[in-house]
Structure 1
C-alpha cells in the first residue's frame, strides 16, 4: 500500500519534525561533548552520549519514512509498511546501548574514581546545558504540535513521531537532571551528586528504550486492530442478511495506515455461486468503506447447511453404497 495524499502529507510533516530534532541533537551533542571534556563532568558526558544516540536514531527514522512507503511487490505482497516498526525497534536499541549503558558507565566511573573539579568548566557546562534545554524544548514543542494536528493520541500511532516525542521529552528531563547534578557537585564538592544524576539519566533512557521497543515488537509480530474497530467490523458482518454466523474475524496491522482483515463466515442456505460472489463483493466494499485502513480484505464463505448435508450419515451411506 502506498498510502493516500493525506498520509503523504503527514509523512512530510513528520520528516520535517525528525529533521528539526536531528539538527538540534547534532549541535547539542557536540556542545555537550566539548563542555563535558572541558569540565570533566560525567553527567554532561552522559547527556552527550544521549544526544549522539538520539541523532543516530533520527537517521533511522528518516530511513523508515522513506522505505515504508515503497509499493508492494512480488517478494513483499503486503508492502513495506512494517519497515517503520523495524527501524523504531532499532532506534530503541540505540537509546538503550548508546545512551543508557554509557550513562551507567559514566556514573559508576565517577563514583569509583571521582571527577576533576574545574569551576570555570562547570559554569561553561551549565551554560551548554541551558542552551540544550531551550533547543530540546523547541524540538519537543514542534513534535507535540504535530501530534495535535494529527489527532492527539491518534498521531502517536506513527512510531517515528512517537519516538521523536519520547526522545525530546526524555532529553528535556535528562538535561534537567544533569544541571541539578552539576550544580550540586559544584556547590558541595561531592561527586556523588553528579554520578547520581548520570545514573538517573541511564535509568530514564533504559525505561524509554524498553517502552519504545515493546511497542515496536508488538507491531512487528502482528498487532490486531483496536477492539472498537474490530467490533464495528463484526457488527457489520452480523447485520448482513446472507450471513448466518461469523465464525472468525482476524485483523493485523501491516503498516502505519494499512490493515489486513480476514473473516470466516457461514452463509444462510440456498444461495447459488453467483449470489455468493455478489455477497462477498458487497461485504468487502462495506468493510473498506467502514474502515478505510483495511487495505487487504479476505472472506472465507461457507454454507453450513450444505456442509452438514454432505457430512450426514445418510449422505455418507449413499456414497459408500455407490
Structure 2
C-alpha cells in the first residue's frame, strides 16, 4: 500500500532527558525522494525495522515493538534508539493513519556510508483487507532454513535474532511456498525443529495447551504472539515456549500464524496434513482488533 505519511527522526540529541521530542521530527512528503543514494539501508539492507499495527488511530503493542527494535539495534551494533523519542514519533504517525486498520513502520539504518549518524524514519499507511484470511485461513509448507537450532548462539554475526532490513530470504521463501501451491511457509532448522514463518510467529494447539517455538535459535519474539498468550492465559488456557520437533506439526489440533498486520490466520494445512479452523479463531481476532497498549 502507498505510504500516506512519513517523518524523519533526528538521532542527534536523542539521548537527552526531555519530555518533548517533537522538535527532533521532520514531516516529509511521503511521495517525494528523501534518502541519499549512499544510504546503506537500500545499498546493503544494513538496518533494522518494526511494523506496528494501527486500529482507528491507536498504535498496538508499542512497547514490545520498541523493545524489539532496541534489541535488534544492539545485535547489529547500531545506536540503541531512545524509546520515548520513538514512542512520540509513533503517536504522530498513528494519528495520520486513516480510520480502520493501518500500519506504522519504524526504520533505523546505519545511514549514509561513512556518514556521521544513523538514519531513522517512520511511515504510516493503510493496509490490505485481511478479513477473509482471518476467517478461512492459509495453507503452509515447511522449508529448511539451512541452519541448526543453536546457530544464533554459535554464529551471532548471522544476526538471526534481529529484525533486519535484509528480507530477501524471507521473500524468497514466500515465493517458494507459492510455487508449491501454498500461501505461506514455516521454517525448520536443519536439525528438525520448528522455527517461525517468514513474516509471522507460529502458535500450535495441543488440547488446552498452546505452544510457540522458544524464541532462541534466531526466532524473533513475536509481539502479537505475546498478546495472544496474554488473552489465552486470561481464559484459563496453558501457554508455553518449547523446542518443537517438526514431527509435532502433524499432531497439533490447530495452528495459527500471527503477526502485527495480518493478526491471526488459522492454518488449514501443513504440507499434506489438513487442520480444522479452530472456533477460538474468531475470539482471538476480536481481541487483536481491540485497542491494546
Q: Give the TM-score, by structure 1 length.
A: 0.21
Larger Rg: 1
The structure with the largest helix share of the pair is 1
